[in-house]
Amino acid sequence: MLLDLGCGCNKAPGYEGLDKVPFPGVTYVHDLEVIPWPFADSSVDGLRARHVLEHIHNLIDVMNEAHRILKPGAKFHIYVPMVVDSVGQIHPEAFQDPTHVRFFVPETWSYFTGRRETQMYGILPWQRLHYEEADWEAYVILEKVCTS
């Protein structure tokens, strides 16, 4: 099963929709910030979150929960607005939405991809497979790294 997290009315083709609001196309109604999510450990083949994570208060908990439900080696496709891109350009568009509670820079992902000092925060490990920027949006593909 592929899950589109926080899909709203825009569920990606081939994915099951998960959102806290029962929009058309949403298969599972659940708030991502309520842990645990209603899925067994290592039961999901892939995740997608398009312009969702900037609305999440506790990103570490949500990323760890995504890690829990994904099968080993499964991928998490993430799209987020960038405040500052890799060449230092500031993107005020990332600030305009009053529902954004967090902001991203290219270095954000290093906290989830193996920096030893982040282990003290309880972050489960991911491998970054892909990173690209287009205008003010970043597209990241992370792969679940097995912890046992």
pLDDT digits (tens, 9 = 90+) for 20-37: 999 999 999 999 999 999
Spatial CA neighbour of 86 closest among 137, 142, 50? 137
Q: What SS3 string covers 16-78? A: EEEECCCCCCEEEECCCCCCCCCCCCCCEEEEEEECCHHHCCCHHHHHHHHHHHEEEEEEEEE
What's the CA gap between 138 and 121, in Å, rounded? 24
Q: According to the model, what pLDDT value does residue 106 have? A: 87
- Using DSSP, state whether 141 is helix, strand or coil: strand
**CATH no. for residue 40?**
3.40.50.150
Q: According to the model, what pLDDT value does residue 18 have? A: 98
Q: Where are the alpha helices (DSSP H) in 59-147?
A: 59-69, 93-96
Q: According to the model, what pLDDT value does residue 113 have? A: 87
What pLDDT, in 10s, does the model give residues 92-145?
Answer: 888 888 999 998 888 888 888 876 666 667 788 899 999 999 888 999 999 999
- Our count of domains for the chain comes to 1
User: What is the pTM assigned to this prediction?
Assistant: 0.92
Residue 58: which domain range? 2-144
Classify strands 26-29 and 126-134 as parallel, antiparallel or unpaired: unpaired
Q: According to the model, what pLDDT value does residue 85 have? A: 79
The token pair at 12 is: 């990606």
Rounded to an integer, the average pLDDT of 30-54 is 98
Indicate the DSSP class of residue 83. S
